[in-house]
Amino acid sequence: MAKNRSRISSKKIIASMGILCLAVILIHVVHAFTLDRMVEYKELTFKSPQVTSELDGYRVAFISDIHEMDDEDLRAVVEKLNTMDINLLVLGGDFSSDGRVPRTKLELLSQVRTTDGVFAVEGNHDNRARLFVALEECGITPLSDSGLKLHANLYLAGVTDYWGRDSSIAQATEAALPGDFILLVSHNPDITMVQDTVSIDLILCGHTHGGQATFFGLFAPALVPGRITNYGHRFTSGWSTSRDNTPVYVSNGVGQYLQVPRVFARPQVIVITLREGA
């Protein structure tokens, strides 16, 4: 009798585990076909003593990793941003997955209304030469280990792709003045762990896609060190820090890489408001 009870109990445990596994799989599938296809407009506030009263309230939109995003979906993003009083739009690279230049997408992005323009860096999937020509033809300014003063004491810098070139944060920021709020854009966040970022106030990155396909957003097989990042889940998504403890914000990106579904890695457009403060 005891043996029979033990067998029944074991079968119940196995059945319960099977139901649980099916439920987890179903949750991930449903998420992939619902929320993970809806763009999130994530509004953040960043306080810094380097933000002057003149710069207080300045709004920066950040779009990265467009890849295979449908033109109509991108048009909807542009229309949404045009209702959000954006001062500056920065583009974080990977405009396609195969080096093609998506001219229509660039033309759409150039239609975002800002006070201080649209700027872009290259990603590891971009053909730099072709991309930069097309960006300039569309009125978008490429940043290639370079920077410029934009508004009040705001200095915008951008680096070349860390995987493909000898990127230089020092070169990108060399024209900044003491007291400037320095905003650095880099497609790949790994560069912040190997180069000096002490003078930088805020760094915006993409590249990791939030892990693309994750387990409840907690673990992403694609982020095993050495694949697309050397730092595992340090730069999966959201706030992190550089080697020098400089704030780094990593966007999930807005598009989808090839046919790999997003799972608990919702596409994002980031909007950061700068504020005076510690």
What is this structure's pTM? Answer: 0.93
The model's pLDDT over 103-145, given as tens digits with 9 standing for 90+, comes to 999 999 999 999 999 999 999 999 999 999 999 999 999 999 9
HEC string of 118-129 equals EEECCCCCCCHH
Mean local confidence (pLDDT), 48-73: 96
The model's pLDDT over 78-110, given as tens digits with 9 standing for 90+, comes to 999 999 999 999 999 999 999 899 999 999 999
Separation between Cα atoms, residue 269 and residue 64, nearest integer Å: 8
DSSP 215: B
∠ CA 43-276-152 to the nearest 5 degrees? 95
Tokens at 192, concatenated: 């912040």
Q: Which residue has the tokens 């229309």?
A: 79
Q: Which fold does the domain 40-276 belong to in CATH?
A: Purple Acid Phosphatase; chain A, domain 2 (3.60.21)
Which residues, in sequence order, are CB contacts of 51 under 8 Å at separation 6+?
58, 181, 274, 275, 276, 277
pLDDT band at 6 (very low <50, low <70, confident <90, very high): low
Q: Assign residue 40 a region (left: φ > 0; alpha: ψ between -120 and 50; beta: otherwise).
A: beta
Q: Which residue has the higher pLDDT, 166 or 156?
A: 156
Q: Which residue has the tokens 């598009």?
A: 255
pLDDT band at 5 (very low <50, low <70, confident <90, very high): low
CB-CB contact of 149 with 122 (8 Å): no
The domain spans of the chain are: 1-33, 40-276
50 has pLDDT over 90 = yes
Amino acid in the structure at residue 70: D
